[in-house]
Amino acid sequence: MATVKTRPQTRPPRRPRGGRSARGWGLTTISGLAVLILVTVHMVANHFVIESVGGLRSYQQVLDYISNPVIFVLESLFLVFVTVHAMLGLRGVLLDLDPSPQTLRWIDRGLVALGIITLAYGFLLIGVLASRA
């Protein structure tokens, strides 16, 4: 028997599980895990395989290192994840000061702006050095 739908079929908007703080915690954890892996690669590749004082690369060694496509991608990912994790961490510390909702909005905007500036400068640095090799 055919039926006729008489009720409106619009679904209520899906809301993600957990509140904003739960999503923030999840994002902090995921970005933290990524940072942990990438910082290990970064530290070992930059400071523990180089035979020099303090494990620091010379100018030409830095250019050769960053111009490697695999390293370029890894360092770019490291920059992204470390910036996201740092901004989320700073937000957590500032939330401890119990800001008003209006102040929290300004904090969020400020941290987004700081994160974008950090990423822009970091990518400029990586890009210029890779192009010089």
Partner 1 sequence: MSERRAGVPGLDERAERGPVRRKGVGVPASGWFDPRGRALGGFAFAVNRITGLGLVFYLYLHLAVLSLLLRGEQAWSDFLRIATSWAFLSLDVLLLFGLLYHGLNGIRVALVGTGVVPNRQKALWWSLGVIGTIALIGGALHIAGSA
Residue among 73 and 120 whose Cβ is closer to partner 1: 120
Contact 23, 34 (CB under 8 A): no
Alpha carbons 87 and 72: distance in angstroms, whole number: 23
Does 121 interact with partner 1 (rule: CB under 8 A)? yes
Residue among 4 and 93 whose Cβ is closer to partner 1: 93
Does 120 interact with partner 1 (rule: CB under 8 A)? no
Could you tell me the two tokens for 113?
């702006």
Helices (H), the chain: 20-43, 59-66, 69-95, 101-132
Residue among 70 and 93 whose Cβ is closer to partner 1: 93
Among 89, 85, 78, 70, residue whose Cα is nearest residue 43: 78
User: Which residues would be at the binding site for partner 1 (CB under 8 A)?
Assistant: 25, 29, 32-33, 35-36, 39, 43, 48, 52-56, 58-60, 62, 82-83, 86, 89-90, 93, 96-98, 100, 118, 121-122, 125, 128-129
